[in-house]
Amino acid sequence: MEKAFWLEKWRNNEIGFHNREVHPLLVQHVPCLNLSQGDRLFLPLCGKTLDIAWLLEKGYRVAGAELSESAVIQLFDQLAINPRVTDLGALKKYHSDDVEIFVGDIFDLTGSALGPVDAIYDRAALVALPAHTRQTYTQQLHNLTASARQLLISFEYDQARLAGPPFCVNGEEIRQLYADGYTIELLSSVAVAGGLKGQVAAMEQVWHLQPR
């Protein structure tokens, strides 16, 4: 969606997309990434997800990108961390020893600013983007991370019955977006309890993307 759409959501606290618990599919499937303590994960469009606190507790380091500065301030408040803030021009970086969040448009982030990452965890980024933006986004992830291994969560449902976001990004599209750089494995497909937004039957799917 347009940047103004998401900034307005955060200003008005219309953040039904924010999970109030650590995502159980992350807890279940993160072992597939074969991470070691101290490894660094990149979370695109991370908001103030509680998943970050859980990953830090497990001994991983976290980098994220988020459009809304308000979300990032709330994230560090949740973490009880007083971050340092560095002006990077088009972006700001809120950071402490083990967590760095880049505030601004993810398409303004560079690989040199981000630094090396060991894996990507995409819970709500790809599905937040309209179809015409997804190819550009996946190319940006490649540029930023040199096609780091990835745990990706998507939704599959009848897009005609619900406008989104989150958008339907089915397996066929995921393969079109990522097949050139990754082998792609569907790890799990779980019905969304009560339907997506209580309106339409949907499957929440977990994908493991392994660099070729």
Please give the Cα distance from 84 to 96 (Å, whole number). Answer: 6
Task: Show binding-site residues for S-adenosyl-L-methionine.
Answer: 10, 45, 66, 123
Determine contact, residues 15/74, Cβ cutoff 8 Å.
Answer: no
Cis geometry, peptide bond prior to residue 31 (ω within 30 degrees of 0): no
Task: Show binding-site residues.
Answer: 10, 45, 66, 123
Please give the Cα distance from 28 to 98 (Å, whole number). Answer: 23
Among the listed residues 94, 11, 87, 13, the one whose alpha carbon sits nearest the alpha carbon of residue 52: 94
In terms of Cβ atoms closer than 10 Å to its own Cβ (0-12, 13-18, 19+), residue 163 is: exposed
Determine contact, residues 153/171, Cβ cutoff 8 Å.
Answer: no
Residues 6+ apart with CB under 8 A from 112: none
Please give the Cα distance from 83 to 105 (Å, whole number). Answer: 20
